[in-house]
Amino acid sequence: MGVFDVVPAGVLTGDNVMKLFSYAKEHHFAIPAINVTSSSAINSVLEAARDSKSPVIIQISQGGAQFFGGKGLSNDGQAASILGAVAGAHHVRTVAKSYGVPVVLHSDHCAKKLEPWFVGMLEADEAYFKQHGEPLFSSHMLDFSEESKEHNIAACKKYLTRMAPMKLWLEMEIGITGGEEDGVDNTGVDNASLYTQPEDIWDIYRELSAIAPHFSIAAAFGNVHGVYKPGNVRLHPELLAKHQAYVKEKLNITDNHPVFLVFHGGSGSTKDEIKTAVQNGVVKMNIDTDTQYAYWEGVLKYYKKNESRLQGVLDAEEKPNKKYYDPRVWLRESELSMKKRVQEAFNDLGGANSL
């Protein structure tokens, strides 16, 4: 049995997202969620998924969406970020099925100050749903972790209620992911905020499950965005087992992993930390820093290899250099480099050859 026995190729929505995450949890693997900023990066991720025979999550952040829409556009009211997210979503929908893999189309961290971006994407989902019977995106993340727990849960309940008729998945965060990413700076937060408590997970599960089952929780266990020197980040994925056990006891059920958990700040994690997280019910792990560097490294290596031919339109013998500086050539090297790193993620998370 494989993933294709439960879901089809292409962008998944509604019950198919639930089926995919349930299958991953049951078979003890997680799906990498790769941040993208361009159609080139999207294609690289899809190619990696196809060649690794794995489902994949493609996600776009507010900043990534703005770049996709065009930095030359005004972002007043998050207009460019909304436009870019929608454009990126349509690109994924246009090509995903041709790559022959199941795809979860997701938007990344949306803090309170970025709420208009979230609302704009929901409006696009509702318009698409009205026409096609499914939302444009598979899922969205609402990150109100900097607010009080009560405010965080109330906001998630409000939006999940709006999303439920479309069976649109909601990812929420409780506790804080340290570090800085896309303008969200948590470098100075209290260390205690980096660790979520089991009681918090139960409060969220109880409140959201009363509305709809289509949600996941990014619980903090020392996570930090970015890559740091070994020893600087203290991850404790074993804490996730306590969250699952607490909810299991409250529900009085036999399922050892009743909660769909998400691993943020995954770049630079050890393979043992990743394995422990997956064993404790993590079905999604975000990867951004590592794949950003891999994309850049493709250009870097290409430049070093062909430096003498990349100094002008003509070479030293006044012969054309176009085949060296053509964007289709050096961007392809970026894609291949990023593809290799994404394939590593499929292997680390146990999803390779799962189709």
What is the pLDDT at residue 303? 96
Which residues, other chains included, contact 156 with Cβ-Cβ below 8 Å and sequence gap of 6+? 142, 144, 170, 172, 204, 207, 208, 215
Rg of the chain, C-alpha, whole Å = 20
Kindly list the catalytic residues. 108
Q: How many domains does the chain have?
A: 1
pLDDT at 2 over 90: yes
Cβ neighbours, 10 Å, residue 208: 21
Average pLDDT across the chain, whole number? 90
What is the pLDDT at residue 233? 47
In a domain, 164, yes or no: yes
In a domain, 83, yes or no: yes
The residue ranking higher by pLDDT, 1 or 177, is: 1
| Percentage helix, strand, coil for the chain under 3-state DSSP, each rounded to 5 | 50, 15, 30
| CATH number, residue 184 | 3.20.20.70
In a domain, 337, yes or no: no
pLDDT in tens, 183-213: 444 444 444 456 788 899 999 999 999 999 9
User: If residue 39 lies in a helix (H) or strand (E), which one and from where to where?
Assistant: helix 39-52
pLDDT band for position 269 (50/70/90)? Answer: confident
DSSP lists the bridge partners of residue 186 as 179
For 270, the 3-state DSSP assignment is coil
Q: With beta carbons less than 8 A apart as the criterion, state whether 320 and 313 touch.
A: yes
Q: What is the DSSP string of 243-277?
A: HHHHHHHHHT-S-S--S-EEE-S-TT--HHHHHHH
Work out the average pLDDT over 255-270.
84
What is the pLDDT at residue 234? 62
The residue ranking higher by pLDDT, 60 or 277, is: 60
pLDDT at 177 over 60: no
For 169, the 3-state DSSP assignment is strand
In a domain, 322, yes or no: no
CA distance 281 to 234: 20
Which residue type occupies 224?
V
In a domain, 320, yes or no: no
pLDDT in tens, 29-50: 999 999 999 999 999 999 999 9
Residue-range definition of the domain harbouring residue 177: 3-289
Work out the average pLDDT over 9-23.
98
CA distance 65 to 59: 10
Q: What is the DSSP string of 141-158?
A: EE--TTS-HHHHHHHHHH
Percent of the chain with pLDDT over 90: 76
pLDDT in tens, 98-123: 999 999 999 999 999 999 999 999 99
pLDDT at 232 over 50: no
In a domain, 315, yes or no: no
Task: Please report the sign of the dihedral spanned by the C-alpha atoms of residue 323, residue 327, residue 332, residue 337.
Answer: positive
pLDDT at 251 over 50: yes
In a domain, 144, yes or no: yes
What is the pLDDT at residue 145? 87
User: Encoding tokens for residue 329?
Assistant: 């050539």
pLDDT in tens, 291-317: 999 999 999 999 999 998 888 887 667
pLDDT in tens, 315-352: 667 677 888 999 999 999 999 999 999 999 999 999 99
Backbone torsion region of residue 285, taken as left when φ is above 0, otherwise alpha when ψ lies between -120 and 50, otherwise beta: beta
CA distance 85 to 123: 12
Q: With beta carbons less than 8 A apart as the criterion, state whether 144 and 174 touch.
A: no
In a domain, 229, yes or no: yes
Cβ neighbours, 10 Å, residue 197: 18
What is the pLDDT at residue 22? 98
What is the pLDDT at residue 268? 63
For 130, the 3-state DSSP assignment is helix
pTM greater than 0.75: yes
User: Encoding tokens for residue 186?
Assistant: 């948590």
pLDDT at 179 over 50: no
Q: With beta carbons less than 8 A apart as the criterion, state whether 236 and 221 touch.
A: yes
CA distance 244 to 280: 7
pLDDT at 10 over 90: yes
Q: With beta carbons less than 8 A apart as the criterion, state whether 211 and 219 touch.
A: no
CA distances from 261 to 129, 247, 250 (A): 27, 12, 17
Which residue type occupies 154?
A
pLDDT at 250 over 90: yes
